[in-house]
Amino acid sequence: MRAVHSKMDVMVPRQSRENPYVLLDVFTERPLEGNQLAVFPNARGLTDEQMQAMAREMNLSETTFILPGELEEERRNGTRVRIFTVSEELPFAGHPTLGTAYYLHRFGGSDEVWLNLNVGKIPVRFRREIDPDRSFGEMRQRDAETGKVHNKEEVARATGLSLADFAPHLPVQTFSTGVPFTIVPLASLAAMQKAGAWTAATQEYLERSDAKFFYFVCAETVQPDAKLHARMIFYNGEDPATGSAAGCCAAWMAMHGVIERGEQAVIEQGLEVHRPSRIYVRAEKSGDRVINVHVGGYCVEVGEGEMWT
């Protein structure tokens, strides 16, 4: 992997470790859109504290660290990967899973990549296209766990919305495929624009609920082929694309008849923060459960460099 600067350009601190990284944009086919991700391909020897500090230094929504193992171990358990935000380690996140698997696919050559995450083994399969630089990747997330149906009046108070902003015929409900999200269906794009603040009331409500974040969706979309428009507000701002939430949303859609069995749908996200993203989802309802939750999209590599520790 190339370094951004030669040793003639930059003096490396004595006794430092050079940690190569790759920058990717995930859930997009175009650079400088989608959700940003930094991937450190060889994190062996780094401590938990160092990985957290490096993620904080990158200052992206998530940074991933690959810990390569012995070949037989990786065949059995998948490639070990850890995911960090600027403030915590996550058991699972969607765009880091897809982006890290894309890196392993592109530089390892396999069309099927298994990641060993804190939440367990996650498979990601890639479909090569005519353009050699394009591959569509799709992860199968864990079967969905169904959470509580929330009171819309309470959610309205927590989010600063009115009852008129909610879609009247669909429930506000929590689902989890690794990280729990409460899916909040709103009535229009105009209502979505009012859902852009993370407040003390939001934090307090989520702390006593069964979810980590809200995922706002509505059936009115900007792109004609999209099924839903989505926003995910969190403590660090607004996420351009949230693959873990999209998996939960796919489960919610399948459970409540928004998509048919096996139908693939597009969720558009990130338009409000000028990083348009397209997330492809599908899932199946089986009795009172949702299974075969798939989340996919495209990725593009946009840069590389080294961090010294």
Dump pLDDT digits (tens) for 159-186. 999 999 999 999 999 999 999 999 999 9
Catalytic residue among 18, 33, 49, 62: 62
Q: Do 189 and 282 share a domain, yes or no? A: yes
pLDDT at position 1:
42
Q: What one-letter code names the amino acid at 246? A: A
Count Cβ atoms within 10 A of the Cβ of residue 140 and give its class: 0-12 exposed, 13-18 middle, 19 or more buried. Answer: middle
pLDDT at position 4:
46
Q: Are 24 and 35 in contact (CB under 8 A)?
A: no
For the chain, residues with pLDDT lower than 50 are 1-8
How many domains are contained in the chain? 2
| Residue 132 included in any domain | yes
Q: Are 259 and 213 in contact (CB under 8 A)?
A: no
The whole-model pTM stands at: 0.92
| CATH number of 121's domain | 3.10.310.10
Boundaries of domain holding 92: 18-141+298-308
Q: Do 184 and 234 share a domain, yes or no? A: yes
Concerning whether 268 is annotated as a catalytic residue, the answer is: no
Q: Do 24 and 82 share a domain, yes or no? A: yes
pLDDT at position 132:
75
Q: Do 66 and 130 share a domain, yes or no? A: yes
Q: Do 115 and 245 share a domain, yes or no? A: no
Q: Do 110 and 162 share a domain, yes or no? A: no
pLDDT at position 2:
44
pLDDT at position 77:
86
CA distance 120 to 153: 36
pLDDT at position 129:
85
Q: Do 137 and 149 share a domain, yes or no? A: no
Q: Do 67 and 129 share a domain, yes or no? A: yes
| Residue 246 included in any domain | yes
Q: Do 216 and 117 share a domain, yes or no? A: no
| Residue 88 included in any domain | yes
The encoded tokens of residue 17 equal: 């470790």
Q: Do 255 and 182 share a domain, yes or no? A: yes
